[in-house]
Amino acid sequence: MKLSTRMLVPPFILAAAAAFAHGDVAPQAVDTSALPSLGEEWLEENPWRDPAGENWQTAIDIGASGYNQNCARCHGLEVVSGGLAPDLRYLSADWDGDEWYLERFRHGMTQNGITKMPAFGDLLGQEAAWAIRTYVETRPDDGAFDDHQTRLSAIRDLLKDRATEVEGGADAASLSDDVDALRAELSDINASAETGSDAPVAESAVSRAAIALDGSAGSFAKAAELLTIGLSAAN
């Protein structure tokens, strides 16, 4: 059972109080030009939460970059906290979670005169805020792919073999049946993964590999690399 936002807030506050102060780190600008403008008035709910929406993947890609530049230092790579700051994967993907997130993003957090989290709102804007939020809430839960590790390793090895064949002169187009089948299987595996936030769809190394595997000559090696990184992180 996933914890609700209301249950999460007290430990989040306690964890934030123990976090390294990062008020001395200047927020890094996030390029949101690929996303539509949301206007000056801040929204109350994530506009890019729907995986079927045309801006969902773009928001995740931009949010990943923004998160890594501004948030990963305290909240952890891939949003996996080391315990010094809140593990944002478990902030529920709903209105309550958005309210908590937006308050911290816009206004930061200060305790006993020490800035635990700087205010990002005026500096980065709401497009960046919601892009980062979309990325954060689509992180897979711990162990989300445990039941698929053996098969993912086998797919990774197969992709490496296909990459070697293409490098040896094989026509990438002749492997289209492999591409279609592997993309479908990777997409199905990713669809089975639960998110920590209860967002409906996870974005992960598995889904990235499926996207990267487009049948071009270099896509086999790229997809294999993404799965290798994902499998390493899982271990």
Rg over CA atoms, the chain: 19
- Cβ-Cβ contacts under 8 Å for 114 (sequence gap 6 or more): 21, 23
Q: Give the pLDDT confidence of 207-229 residue by residue, as tens digits.
A: 999 999 999 999 999 999 999 99
Q: Give the pLDDT confidence of 82-114 residue by residue, as tens digits.
A: 877 889 999 999 999 999 999 999 998 887 877
Q: What is the pLDDT of residue 22?
A: 46
Q: What is the pLDDT of residue 138?
A: 98
Q: Give the pLDDT confidence of 181-207 residue by residue, as tens digits.
A: 999 999 999 999 999 999 999 999 999
Residues above pLDDT 90, as percent of the chain: 71
The model's pTM: 0.84
C-alpha neighbours within 13 Å on the C-beta side of residue 59? 27
Q: Give the pLDDT confidence of 27-73 residue by residue, as tens digits.
A: 899 999 999 999 999 999 999 999 999 999 999 999 999 999 999 98
Long-range contacts of 49-53 (CB under 8 A, 24+ apart): 49/93, 49/134, 49/137, 49/199, 51/200, 51/201
